[in-house]
Structure 1
Amino acid sequence: MPDRFSTATRIRALGAQAQARVYRATGRGPAVPAPPPRRNRLTGRAAVLALVLCALVVALAYPMRQYIAQRSQIADQRKQAQEAQKRVEELREEKARWQDPAYVRSRARERLNYVLPGETGFTVVGPSQSATADDSADRHDANDTAALRAWYANLWDGVDRADAQAARAAQADQR
């Protein structure tokens, strides 16, 4: 019949019996047994598990940051694509308007001061704007009115202003 107890258990039992005999022979009682040694709460397995978890957190932190950054970039790209699509639609509408000969005629009459044969064109000229270096508000107003005038009028005004500045510089040199 096999023995139910392990060898270590039998050796402990024999040691306890021998210790009891020694105490009886000497007449002294057994010493107060020392408290069992405190086991450390952090076992080897727990330490390895904590180390593995820390490694996983460190290993996944950078890819997660990249993932979040890429998601925001994707959202920005989608927004830009929608804006570009809207701009394309606006340009298509404008292109369709320019295909209409009546629209082209009206824009040419407005921007280039074209007139049809038999019509008389008139250009209304307002008070002249002096372009002085000290008065930037007047210069701003002149730029606004220049946008409303014909291109050839703006060209001659630029030539006149350059001539006036050259004349002022010549007078300053003579003084």
Structure 2
Amino acid sequence: MAKRPQLKRPQLTGRAAILAVVVCANAMSLAYPAREVIAQRREIARLEEEQTQALHRLRTLEERRKQREDPEYVKQMLKERLHYCEPGAKCYVVLDQKPAGSAPRGGGKKPEPPAWYVTLWQSVEAADQGRDSVPASRN
């Protein structure tokens, strides 16, 4: 018996091509709604974060309102900020003294640099006398 040559089957049949087209069409039709769902979830998360921050600001403002309704706090602020003195009390205000927080931390007062024209004149004198620069003690 003679062997018949076998016919090679095509790799892609008609059914497989139709199935591939249907799968691609389904994937394409689901891509846009899936993208919208993801975008909506991001928007919801952003709005929830914004709501949390707004509630935090509201609580802070509510605490400040309650604090300002307290008569003791109001008296304290009047004394500190406006130098209010209650009737019958002796209050003093020192005008020539700097506030305690404004003193330099180095222990001593920092020397102020000389005016620009003083530095200029010192450099002219140094050049006239043949020196290279102004001595550090005159700076």
TM-score scaled by length of structure 2: 0.59
Query: Does residue 56 of structure 1 match 2:30?
Result: no
Change (3 A) 1:58 1:123: farther
1:123 is displaced (CA, Å) by 3.6
1: CA distance between counterparts of 2:83 and 2:54?
34
Residue deviations 1:24-68 (CA, integer Å, cap 9, x gap) = xxxxxx9x5652432213211111111111122222223222322
CA contact (8 A) 1:113 1:121 kept: no
Structure 1 match to 2:107: none
| Secondary structure of the structure 2 residue equivalent to 1:41 | coil
Which of 93, 97, 119 in structure 2 is aligned with 1:122? 93
The amino acid that maps onto 2:39 is A
- Structure 1 unaligned residues grouped into runs of 5+: 1-29, 128-143, 146-175
Identity %: 39
AA in 2 matched with 1:75: A
The 2-side partners of 1:69 and 1:123 are apart by 63
The CA deviation at 1:79 is 1.8
Tell me, what secondary structure is at the counterpart of 1:71? Answer: helix
Q: 1:86 to 1:46 in 2, by over 3 A?
A: same
Tell me the residue number matched to 1:70. Answer: 40
Which amino acid in the other structure matches residue 93 of structure 2?
F
1:23-102 to structure 2, matched below 5 A, reads 32=2, 34-102=4-72
Divergent runs of 4+, >6 A: none
Looking at structure 1, the residues matched to 30 and 94 of structure 2 have their Cα atoms a distance apart, in angstroms, of: 73
Distance of 1:55 and 1:123 partners within structure 2 = 85
More helix per residue:
1
Report the number of matched residues. 99
CA distance in 2, matches of 1:61, 1:74: 20
Say which of 67, 76, 81 aligns to 1:106.
76
Q: Deviations over 1:50-100 (max 9, x none)?
A: 111112222222322232222122112212211211221121111111111
